[in-house]
Amino acid sequence: MSIDLKAMTWLNPPPLSEMRDGRLFVRSGDKTDFWQGTYYGFHRDDGHFLQQRRRGDFTAGVSFLGHYEHLYDQAGLMIRHDATHWMKCGIEFTDGAKHFSVVVTNGHSDWSAFRLDHEFDALSVQVTRNGDALFIQYRTDRMSDWQMARLAYFDPAIPDLAVGPSFCSPQRAGFEAEFFDFSVTDPVSRDIH
């Protein structure tokens, strides 16, 4: 499914966003990020996020690729209630390599990341919300099966969330990415094995 810009809104619109052949092409603003406090001490909520609303449980997914060159260049999927309750997952460039990264923020941010050592172009992420949990999966364009990345707590008392592609470049301006095959459906499954 292509991204429907008419049905979605930007939180912090980027300098460039345009649709070409069913894909969303974007370019980041200068030193953009989403982070709340932990370890670094700063609070940032100026990353780029294209969102649509979703209530209750769901599965959201998107495929994307980026021109990762500088520390912390990142692209992926975000699920958000407000500035202090959100999750972002996808590729983050750190230590000179692409890492699958998940940040969960419930008042304060945490960060988990692992290096993806095989070559690939595009990555797909899939996040299923079931009650108090976010089940986060990924696969590259060289993999056929979904891989589990994380099972994270997310407050079930928050019924209405924003969902969609997000990207940031905390150290620079001009990070470029493209997104495609965005979808939000009823939960695909509760099975994690």
d(Cα 182, Cα 192) in Å, to the nearest integer? 22
Give the tens place of pLDDT for each residue, 49-86.
999 999 999 999 999 999 999 999 999 999 999 999 99
Q: In the structure, what pLDDT confidence band is assigned to residue 4 with cuts at 50, 70 and 90?
A: confident
The answer to whether 84 and 105 have CB atoms below 8 angstroms apart is: yes
Q: What is the pTM of this model?
A: 0.96
CA 57 to chain centre: 18
Give the tens place of pLDDT for each residue, 89-142.
999 999 999 999 999 999 999 999 999 999 999 999 999 999 999 999 999 999
The two structure tokens encoding residue 185? 């459906």
**Does residue 60 lie in a domain region?**
yes
pLDDT at site 150 = 97
Residue 1 pLDDT more than 70? no
- Backbone conformation region of residue 132, classed left if phi is above 0, alpha if psi is from -120 to 50, else beta: alpha
**Does residue 88 lie in a domain region?**
yes
Beta strands in the chain, from DSSP E residues, in sequence order = 9-11, 16-20, 23-27, 34-36, 43-45, 48-55, 58-66, 74-82, 85-94, 97-106, 108-115, 123-130, 133-140, 147-153, 160-168, 176-185
- Percent of the chain residues topping a pLDDT of 90: 94
**Does residue 119 lie in a domain region?**
yes
Q: In the structure, what pLDDT confidence band is assigned to residue 2 with cuts at 50, 70 and 90?
A: low
Per the structure, how many domains does the chain have?
A: 1
Give the tens place of pLDDT for each residue, 163-191.
999 999 999 999 999 999 999 999 997 77
Q: What is the CATH number of the domain that holds 108?
A: 2.60.120.200
d(Cα 68, Cα 122) in Å, to the nearest integer? 12
| Domain around 143 | 5-13+29-185
**Does residue 139 lie in a domain region?**
yes
pLDDT at site 10 = 98
Mean pLDDT on 5-28: 95
**Does residue 190 lie in a domain region?**
no
Give the tens place of pLDDT for each residue, 27-41.
999 999 999 999 999
**Closest among 102, 162, 111, 158 to 132, alpha carbons compared:** 158
**Does residue 24 lie in a domain region?**
no
pLDDT at site 187 = 95
**Does residue 20 lie in a domain region?**
no
**Does residue 23 lie in a domain region?**
no
